Structures are given as structure tokens and as C-alpha cells.
């Protein structure tokens, strides 16, 4: 086998490991590697519609295989047969039919085909959306909407900061509705895409079709509605679309990075309508939820993550689920290159180093800062924390500070011991385990730690 073949075999192997069989069969099995030239691979797909799937789901696979075989980051150019160069809904539909026929004519028992919708991402479901205090109402509202389209919660307006799961929930609604009714007419799109689609139809003088498409839906899912600000003519069109759907009790779900009240430069009459149904906020996940999310996501990877590692990672990224996922991907890359079977804190720390450096929000904190903030919280001086006194409240503050130093910084145990008045690394380990077992029994300690962590960052 030449190097290209080895690379392609590896891509297929990793894709197989990472995807459900049905997804692999549909999206990957017909793909061909045309060539690898320099750091670019040309991959042939039999439909442009599959490109998005590759970009969303197989980027990591290509990178991993690229590093393993070429020791280089490989980028991909996707190519399609000339007949299929324009992606469109009808294309996707015939694709689906074609696929179904193939399966039906197959002599072996046909696998269950996932229902493929051209814009809805199958991987975002309610089942894999981890619930926490930060998102439980938004999730409940999204579920309620999926069960009762065009009911009380119309429109449903979900808002919150970046990477908190808005797009995930929007797609989950689409997937759930399709599961219950594969014929439901659904459109999922960002408001950017809505704007482009509108302008394109305007340019082609084809507004009738535009109206027909949008006003005949059962469910319209529009992501990042804030992008509609300052787009007067599109707002006008959206206003009519909204009214037409709403009057016919068709469901609309919108997301935004902010509360509707802060959507300045958006027509008042639109904002008023956004508030007709239910508005639900997603806030950043707390520590427990971050751990739960990591626990859930790390099951997708073929190795063990120690509990310490998950605790450590949850402490490193505090505002955004996308960062947590990114961290797992970094770890995956390192683990694959080194053929590791277990992910320890040290491996995790090494893998995510560059991610933290490029994200100022997650800059490493110093041990001194931790000692100061813990001291402030418990009314103990930094000197006492580093000192030898064995009074109960000082010992507790000292152990908490050591715990946080382990959780929030990259320092080794001996280094941490040194910063605490030259203590041995076993003392740090003991303090860490002690606080960890206390945390398991004592909710109020978790609240104390969260308060301190928020001060440190
Ligand atoms: P937003 O649209 O709010 O910017 P996304 O929906 O794109 O955020 O979420 C970013 C990533 O984090 C996605 O991969 C998503 O699956 C994941 N994610 C966010 N919240 C959760 C959650 N509660 N449970 C599981 N995954 C989540
Ligand atoms: Mg989004």
C-alpha cells in the first residue's frame, strides 16, 4: 500500500469507529480519496449534500489520520460529480429516495435508515443534551414545543451566550418532530441564511417561490435572529412570514444571543411578536453540569478518563460548552498520537495548553491568587495558609486552596507543595482527596468553592 492508501484506510477506520454504522454507510462508504498533494487531500463525494456532514463530523478524523501518516495537518477539498454540483432540497430528497431503494433491494436485511433532513443535524438530540440548572427550562420548553407544535409556546424564543446549546436545542426540536412525523415540513436556518435566501430570490425575481416555501411550513427554526438587525427589507419579509405562520398556528422557534428587549435596531413590531409566546434563557453551566456534560461527551472516545481529569477540565473552562468539547478533541488528538488508553490530569493539561493560551478568558490563575481569595473567603491570611499552624479553620482553608491549585492550575503536585510553605507532594494529594470526599457529602462546600472560583477568575 502506498502512503495515500494507508492514510485513506486510516480515515475509514477512524470514521467507522466514530460513527454509527448507518451514518457510515450513507455518508462515508461511497467516498473516494482522489489524491493527497502537499497538505491537501481531495476527496470525492457523490453528493454535495454530504459535504456538510464530513465537515461537521469527520474533521477530527482527517486531522488525526493526517498527523499519524503525514505528520502534518491535512486540509480537505471536496469534489463532486458534475451532475450533482448544486445542492438543493429536491436533490436531497431524491438522494433519500435513491438511498431507500438501494436498501430495499439489498438481499441482506436492510439497516434502519436515519431520516435525513437537509438542514437539521442528526447528532443534536434531546437525549444527548445534558440538563442542568442553567438550561432546564429552555429544554423543557423545547420539548413541550416538539410535542405540541403551534400551541401555547409560539413563538419559543431561546436566548443565551455563545456555546451554551441554543443551536443544539433548535436541532433537537427538529429531530424530535421528524421522528414523530417524518413528513413534517421543517426548515432550520440561521438568520444569515434567511437573509441570503431572501436576497437571492429577490434578485431572481422569484419571491412567489420564497413565500410559498416559507409560509407553508409546519415548523420554522431560525438561529441567531440578532443578525437580522439593520436589515430592514429582510425584517419586513420576515414579519410577513412570521404572521402567516403564526396565524395558521404553525410553530416558530427563534434563538438569539440576547434578550429580546436588547435587540436594538430590530423593528419594534417584530420584537413585540417575539415575546408573544415564551422566552427562555440559557445561562452558563455550573461546575456539576460541566462535569455531567464532560462525562456524557467522553463516552464517545475510546479510552478511560479518570474522575480527576473530568474535575480538572470542568475547572478549566467555565463559561462555554464548546470549549469543553474542544478540550476533549485536543485530548483525543494527543491520545491518538501517543496511543494512550487512559487520560490522566497531566495528559489533559498538556493537550489543552494551547487552547487556554489562546482564550484569555481561561488564562491560568496563579497559586498566589488562589491562596489570597481562599484566605479572604475564610478570613485567614495568605501567610497563615502557607504557614504551619494547625488550627481547624486555617487547615481547612489551606486544604481548599491546595485543592483549587490542583484543579485550576497546571502545576505539578511537588510545585504546589513548594508554594504552600515547602510541603511534601503527598500532603497536597491528601488535601485534594480530603476536600474531594467532603464535596461528595456536603453541598454547601460546593457552593463555597463555586463562590471562590468565581472570585479567582
Ligand atoms: P450556541 O448555539 O448556543 O452557540 P451550540 O448549540 O452550538 O451553542 O453548542 C456548542 C456545543 O456544545 C455543541 O456541540 C453542543 O452539542 C454542545 N452543548 C451545549 N450545551 C450542551 C448540553 N447541555 N449538553 C450537551 N452538549 C451541549
Ligand atoms: Mg448557535
Q: Rounded mean pLDDT of the chain?
A: 86
Flag whether 121 is marked binding: no
| Range with top average pLDDT, 20-29, 44-53, 114-123, 297-306 | 297-306
* Mean pLDDT of all residues in 76-98: 51
Cell readout for 344 is: 490522566
Q: Whose CA is nearest to atom 16 of ligand 1?
A: 168
Mean of pLDDT values over 273-302: 93
Assessment of whether the complete model's pTM goes beyond 0.85: no
Interval between CA 189 and ligand 2 midpoint (Å): 10
Q: Which CATH class is domain 287-354?
A: mainly alpha
Q: Where are the domains of the chain?
A: 3-79, 135-281, 287-354, 367-456
Q: Which of 71-80, 313-322, 395-404 has the highest mean pLDDT?
A: 395-404
Ligand 2 centroid to residue 110 C-alpha, Å: 35
Which pLDDT band, with edges at 50, 70 and 90, does 109 fall under?
very low
- Indicate which residue's Cα is closest to atom 14 of ligand 1: 322
Whether 451 has a binding-site annotation, put simply, is: no
Phi-psi region at 279: left, alpha or beta (left = phi > 0; alpha = psi -120 to 50): beta
Question: For atom 20 of ligand 1, which residue has the closest CA?
Answer: 165
Site to substitute for ligand 1 among 226, 321, 327, most atoms within 8 A of C-beta: 321
Q: Does position 19 have pLDDT exceeding 50, yes or no?
A: yes
- What percentage of the chain has pLDDT greater than the value 70? 90
Q: Is the pLDDT of residue 132 over 90?
A: yes
Confidence of residue 146 (pLDDT cuts 50, 70, 90): very high
Helix-then-strand count for the chain, H and E? 21, 10
Going from the Cα of 125 to the center of ligand 2, the distance in angstroms, rounded, reads 14
Lowest mean pLDDT segment, chosen from 47-61, 94-108, 236-250: 94-108
Q: Is 415 exposed, middle or buried (0-12, 13-18, 19+ CB in 10 A)?
A: middle
Residue range 310-339, pLDDT digits in tens: 999 998 887 789 999 999 999 998 898 888
**Lowest mean pLDDT: which of 82-91, 116-125, 230-239, 281-290?**
82-91
% of the chain exceeding 90 in pLDDT: 60
Phi first, then psi: what are they for 168, rounded to 5°?
A: -60, -50
b/e code 313-352 from CB counts within 10 Å (16+ = b)? bbbbbbbbbebbbbbbbbbbebbbeeeeeebebebbbebb
Cα–Cα separations (whole angstroms), residue 50 to 47, 79, 95, 171, 383: 6, 11, 10, 18, 61
The C-alpha cell that represents 139 in the structure block: 429544554
Architecture of the domain delimited by 367-456:
Orthogonal Bundle (1.10)
Q: Is 165 part of any known ligand binding site?
A: yes
The band of 406, judged by pLDDT with boundaries at 50, 70 and 90, is confident
Amino acid 358: pLDDT: 57
- 59-70 and 321-338 helices, crossing angle to 10°: 30
Each residue of 385-396: pLDDT tens digit? 999 999 999 999
Q: How far is the CA of 240 from the centre of ligand 2 (A)?
A: 24
Task: Report helix, strand or coil for 136.
Answer: helix
CA of 38 to the centre of ligand 2 (A): 34
> What's the CATH number for 135-281?
3.40.50.300
- pLDDT greater than 90 at residue 397: yes
- pLDDT the model gives residue 116: 66
Q: What's the rounded mean pLDDT across residues 360-389?
A: 86
Pocket test for ligand 1, best of 121, 134, 163, 257 (most atoms within 8 A of CB): 163
Question: Is 289 among the annotated ligand-binding positions?
Answer: no
pLDDT at 103: 39
pLDDT for the residue numbered 336 = 86
pLDDT band with cut points at 50, 70 and 90 for residue 82: low
Atom number, ligand 1, closest to the C-alpha of residue 131: 23
Decide if pLDDT at 237 tops 50. Answer: yes
pLDDT at 99 over 60: no
432-449 in b/e form (b: 16+ CB < 10 A) is bebbeeebeeeeeeeebb
Q: What is the mean pLDDT of residues 259-285?
A: 93
Q: Which helix (H) or strand (E) holds 278?
A: strand 278-282
Select the CATH number that applies to the domain covering 3-79 from these four: 3.40.50.300, 3.30.300.180, 3.30.60.50, 3.10.129.10: 3.30.300.180
Q: Per-residue pLDDT averaged across 148-156, rounded?
A: 94
Identify whether the C-beta of residue 144 lies closer than 8 Å to the C-beta of residue 153: yes
Give the Å distance between the CA of 325 and the centre of ligand 1. 9
Ligand 2 center–CA 417 separation, angstroms: 42
Write the DSSP symbol of residue 24: I
**Which residue's CA is the nearest one to ligand 1's atom 9?**
165
Instruction: Kindly give the number of the ligand 1 atom that is closest to the alpha carbon of 123.
Output: 16
Q: Show the ligand 1 pocket: residues with CB < 6 angstroms.
A: 124, 128-130, 135, 160, 162-168, 293, 321-322, 325
359 band by pLDDT with thresholds 50, 70 and 90: low
| Nearest alpha carbon, ligand 1 atom 1 | 163
pLDDT of residue 141 exceeding 80: yes
Amino acid at each position: 500500500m502506498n502512503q495515500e492508501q494507508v492514510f485513506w484506510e486510516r480515515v475509514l477506520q477512524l470514521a467507522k469507529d466514530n460513527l454509527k454504522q448507518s451514518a457510515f454507510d450513507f455518508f462515508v462508504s461511497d467516498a473516494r480519496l482522489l489524491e493527497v498533494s502537499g497538505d491537501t487531500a481531495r476527496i470525492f463525494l457523490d453528493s454535495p449534500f454530504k459535504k456538510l456532514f464530513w465537515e461537521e463530523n469527520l474533521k477530527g478524523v482527517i486531522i488525526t489520520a493526517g498527523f499519524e501518516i503525514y505528520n502534518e495537518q491535512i486540509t480537505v477539498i471536496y469534489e463532486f460529480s458534475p451532475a450533482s454540483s448544486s445542492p438543493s432540497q429536491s436533490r436531497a430528497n431524491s438522494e433519500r429516495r435513491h438511498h431507500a431503494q438501494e436498501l430495499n433491494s439489498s438481499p441482506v436485511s436492510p439497516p434502519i435508515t436515519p431520516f435525513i433532513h437537509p438542514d437539521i443535524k442528526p447528532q443534536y438530540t434531546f437525549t444527548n443534551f445534558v440538563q442542568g440548572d442553567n438550561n432546564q427550562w429552555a429544554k423543557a420548553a423545547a420539548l413541550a414545543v416538539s410535542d405540541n407544535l403551534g400551541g401555547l409556546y409560539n413563538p419559543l424564543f431561546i436566548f443565551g451566550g455563545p456555546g451554551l446549546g441554543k443551536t443544539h436545542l433548535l436541532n433537537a426540536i427538529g429531530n424530535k418532530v421528524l421522528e414523530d412525523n417524518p413528513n413534517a415540513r421543517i426548515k432550520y436556518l440561521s438568520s444569515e441564511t434567511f437573509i441570503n435566501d431572501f436576497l437571492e430570490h429577490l434578485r431572481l425575481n422569484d419571491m412567489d417561490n420564497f413565500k410559498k416555501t416559507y409560509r407553508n411550513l409546519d415548523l420554522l427554526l431560525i438561529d441567531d435572529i440578532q443578525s437580522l438587525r439593520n436589515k430592514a427589507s429582510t425584517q419586513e419579509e420576515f414579519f410577513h412570514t412570521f404572521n402567516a405562520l403564526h396565524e395558521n398556528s404553525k410553530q416558530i422557534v427563534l434563538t438569539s444571543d440576547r434578550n429580546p428587549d436588547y435587540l436594538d435596531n430590530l423593528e419594534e413590531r417584530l420584537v413585540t411578536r417575539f415575546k408573544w409566546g415564551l422566552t427562555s434563557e440559557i445561562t452558563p453551566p455550573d461546575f456539576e453540569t460541566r462535569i455531567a456534560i464532560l462525562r456524557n461527551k467522553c463516552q464517545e472516545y475510546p479510552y478511560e478518563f479518570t474522575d480527576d481529569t473530568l474535575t480538572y477540565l470542568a475547572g478549566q473552562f467555565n463559561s462555554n460548552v464548546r470549549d469543553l468539547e474542544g478540550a476533549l478533541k485536543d485530548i483525543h488528538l494527543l491520545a491518538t498520537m501517543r496511543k494512550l488508553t487512559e487520560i490522566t490530569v497531566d495528559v489533559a493539561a498538556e493537550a489543552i495548553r494551547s487552547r487556554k493560551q489562546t482564550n484569555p478568558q481561561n488564562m491560568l490563575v496563579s497559586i498566589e491568587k488562589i491562596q489570597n481569595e481562599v484566605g479572604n473567603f475564610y478570613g485567614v491570611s495568605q501567610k497563615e495558609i502557607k504557614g504551619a499552624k494547625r488550627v481547624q479553620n486555617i487547615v481547612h482553608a489551606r486544604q481548599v486552596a491546595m485543592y483549587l491549585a490542583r484543579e485550576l492550575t497546571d502545576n505539578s503536585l511537588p510545585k504546589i507543595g513548594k508554594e504552600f510553605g515547602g510541603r511534601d507532594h503527598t500532603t497536597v494529594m491528601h488535601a485534594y482527596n480530603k476536600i474531594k470526599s467532603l464535596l461528595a457529602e456536603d453541598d454547601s462546600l460546593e457552593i463555597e468553592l463555586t463562590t471562590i472560583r468565581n472570585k479567582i477568575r
